[in-house]
Amino acid sequence: AQRVTQPEKLLSVFKGAPVELKCNYSYSGSPELFWYVQYSRQRLQLLLRHISRESIKGFTADLNKGETSFHLKKPFAQEEDSAMYYCALGRHNTDKLIFGTGTRLQVFP
Amino acid sequence: GAGVSQSPSNKVTEKGKDVELRCDPISGHTALYWYRQSLGQGLEFLIYFQGNSAPDKSGLPSDRFSAERTGGSVSTLTIQRTQQEDSAVYLCASSIASGSSTDTQYFGPGTRLTVL
């Protein structure tokens, strides 16, 4: 079955600490992976996608097909990174995404 | 430009009543999605419209849920005989669906539904 797993519901760190939000997927085809973010009182929005291979707001994510993972990382967390993060899987021939259950990141001062 | 809009922003209803939630996608976006967001459940896919194709209704939780998309634009999600477990934030998203890869989905602000 096609599935996205985010094992942590809540991740709490202090400002300046490294952050890694875990995401694992299950899909036999060639996946497209995304991270979406929802800041407090804002809309859910795209943070980054693996095919872009870019760093957004200091966050990066590398697709590891061997481990079927797409973990989101940032070396030094900031308070403004506090938000809900969703990992999502895109598949061939459909625009429909499969979302994980989300991880709430709390960055304390 | 204008983003995805949804109305109402909040809806409080009594158990057993019907509700209609509206979504106006970004102009020109051919794909429209409905999701349900609730604590502990994450983002649950409900239904997907793509152009003139038959909608993908595989995520609708029961036959009390239905959705229409008129003229390829505005969509209405209808929940009949609401139950308390229907309480959640209902999100709508749209994408350009270019067909070359999975396009970015643009989300609306959501409708918070509370069933008393």
pLDDT band at B102 (very low <50, low <70, confident <90, very high): confident
pLDDT of residue B1: 57
pLDDT at B99: 65
pLDDT for B76: 97
Q: How confident is the model at residue B100 (pLDDT cuts 50, 70, 90)?
A: low
- The average pLDDT across A83-95 equals 88
Q: Does B27 fall in a domain?
A: yes
Q: Does A56 touch chain B (CB under 8 A)?
A: no
The lowest-confidence range among A35-39, A62-66, A104-108, B12-16 is: A62-66
CATH classification at residue B103 = 2.60.40.10
Q: State pLDDT tens for residues B50-92.
A: 888 889 999 999 999 999 998 879 999 999 999 999 999 999 9
Instruction: Report if residue B116 sits inside a domain.
Output: no
Task: For A6, name the nearest residue in chain B, comparing CA atoms only.
Answer: B42
Residue bearing tokens 């990992």 = A87
* Min distance B20 CA to chain A CA atoms (Å): 21
Rounded to the nearest angstrom, the minimum Cα separation between A75 and chain B is 26
Give the pLDDT mean for B11-28: 96
DSSP secondary structure of chain B? ----EEE-SEEEE-TT--EEEEEEPPTT--EEEEEEEETTTEEEEEEEEETTSPPB-TT--STTEEEEEGGGS-EEEEE-S--GGG-EEEEEEEE---SSS-PPPEE---EEEEE-
Sign of the alpha-carbon dihedral angle for A95, B40, B116, A40: negative
CATH topology of domain A3-108: Immunoglobulin-like (2.60.40)
Instruction: Report angle CA A10, A12, A13 to the nearest 5 degrees.
Output: 155
Which of A96, A86, A101 has its CA nearest to residue A45?
A86
Peptide bond into B61 cis (omega under 30): no
Average pLDDT, chain A: 93
- CA distances for B4 relative to A7, B53, B109, angstroms: 30, 21, 8
Is B95 inside any structural domain?
Answer: yes
Neighbour tally for A31: CB within 10 Å: 22
CB contact under 8 A, A95 and B95: yes
When pLDDT is averaged across residues A80-90 and rounded to a whole number, the result is 96
- Nearest by CB to A86, which of B3, B43, B97? B43
* Domain range for B22: 5-108
Task: Count how many domains chain B has.
Answer: 1
Q: Whole-number mean pLDDT of chain B?
A: 92
Select the residue of A90, A91, A101 nearest B42 (Cβ to Cβ): A101
Q: Which of A51, A86, A97, A104 to mutate to test the interface with B (most CBs of B within 10 A)?
A: A97
Residue B113 within a domain:
no
A46 CB within 8 Å of a chain B CB: yes
Residue A10 to residues A14, A40, A101: CA-CA distances in angstroms? Answer: 13, 15, 11
Answer whether A43 sits within 8 Å of B41, measured CB to CB.
Answer: no
